[in-house]
Amino acid sequence: MIFKDLGFEPQLQEGLDMMGFEKPTPIQEQAIPAILNNKDMIACAQTGTGKTAAFVLPILNKLCKGKTSKINTIIVSPTRELALQIDRQIEGFSYFTNATSFPIYGGGTGSDFDAQKNAIKNGSDILVCTPGRLLAHMKFNYFDASGVKHFILDEADRMLDMGFYDDIMDIAKKLPKERQNLMFSATMPPKIRKLASNILANPTTISLSISKPAAGITQKAYMVHDKQKIALTQHLLKGRDLNHVLIFCSTKKSVKELTRILIKANLSAHDIHSDLDQEEREKVLLDFKNKKVKILVATDILSRGIDIKGIELVINYEVPNDAEDYVHRIGRTARADRKGEAITFINGEQCLKFKQIEDLIERTLEKTPLPNGFEAAPAYITEKRNRVKKNFKKGHFKRNKHFKNKRKKS
């Protein structure tokens, strides 16, 4: 199938031709016809598979056939970065159409809120929103939701992980009952199915390649002591002509420390985390995209939804707490059928956690030896719990208890 087979309106197809879009991805091929037929949908596909275009294109096609002066579509996403990215993609796809969109998110100035208010009052066709800021606007009488025909939840599992379930339900209750509901998610845990049952009506279900990294990613892992991580990071980056490197840390403290040391080593690095305001974060992302900054050290704020082409290397400075987050982190590279590399550092206490990741991706990764000159790495041991059980069966704990009681008596 090619995009022209989908029967888009000429002005939308012209935009796709200009952008060089010829063949839809699997999620687009399955989702677009169902959305054009006004079906509710729950779609599950891994990051980087083209989910945004899968719901944006059919909505734009409907808007080509007829617009009103009211808000037509509300898209809800977990972060402002993702909201901005979706809005930019809409701008590109709608270049030859008359459709309008506007991002609605928090963290800005009073003038930002006023600009959002004006976009809402003027009836922007599509609003791309974070849950909290959307609800803040919906409290005022200038927000007219009576014309909303499409309600879309993107990265729904991430929103639930962030505690937005009640907000999503509150938003849904304020919208017209007669509307099309679309839910896109990278994973499909029970809580997502619960949300779907409360919002969707007889939905079409699409499930593609759940929780599997893209084939183009070369995955590596190092067993390493925490004190060796900075030196190993510098060793991996030294002498390599890389334009886009993304390093994930689990805490802001690690992000700031590592960035400071990389800059001191004359590496082009910057950090991004929740302590930065929105304007600062946007500038850092733009500098990274334009190669002014080549190494971006981040918390999980960037693990989903940020689509920067050409990321060559992703380093997991710490093993992510959730196995699913590993897939999303390394999914920032090898997007759109490109090649990429993902490296994970594992300390001696994170073996069981990494084993859960290997179980999820159905693959055991070879543990790469540390470079010459490094202290011996910790062993990769995942049988700790089994060994404890075995010792208990042998009576070791009973004997230790006996000695303890004996000392008390003496």
Between CA 357 and CA 342 the distance in angstroms is: 14
Task: List, run by run, the mean pLDDT of 10-residue segments along the chain (410 residues).
Answer: 94 91 92 96 80 95 91 95 91 92 88 95 96 96 97 92 92 97 88 93 84 82 96 94 93 93 95 82 89 91 68 94 82 81 96 92 93 95 57 46 45
Sign of CA dihedral 392, 393, 396, 402: positive
Nearest alpha carbon to residue 164 among 187, 134, 184, 186? 134
Give yes or no for a contact between 230 and 261, defined as CB atoms under 8 angstroms apart.
yes
CATH class of 3-208: alpha beta
Give the pair of three-digit tokens for residue 134.
């959307």
Tokens 């400075």 belong to 317
Integer Cα distance of 205 and 119 in angstroms: 33
Helices (H) and strands (E) in the chain, counts: 16, 13
| Per-residue model confidence (pLDDT) at position 388 | 44
Q: Does domain 217-383 have CATH number 3.40.830.10?
A: no
pLDDT at 57: 97
Give CA–CA dist 305/89, Å, rounded.
12
Q: What's residue 397's pLDDT?
A: 44
Mapped onto helix, strand or coil, the DSSP state of residue 341 is strand
Do residues 49 and 209 lie in contact, with contact meaning Cβ atoms separated by under 8 Å?
Answer: yes
Write out pLDDT tens, residues 102-148.
Answer: 999 997 778 899 999 999 999 999 999 999 999 999 999 999 999 99
- Give pTM, 2 decimals: 0.69
Give the Cα separation of 364 and 284 in Å (integer): 35
Instruction: Report DSSP state, residue 217.
Output: E
Question: In the chain, what are the domain boundaries?
Answer: 3-208, 217-383
Within 10 Å of residue 219's Cβ, how many Cβ atoms?
19
Give how far Cα 94 sits from Cα of 15, 99, 152, 175, 236, Å: 7, 6, 18, 25, 42
The reply to whether domains 3-208 and 217-383 share a CATH topology is yes
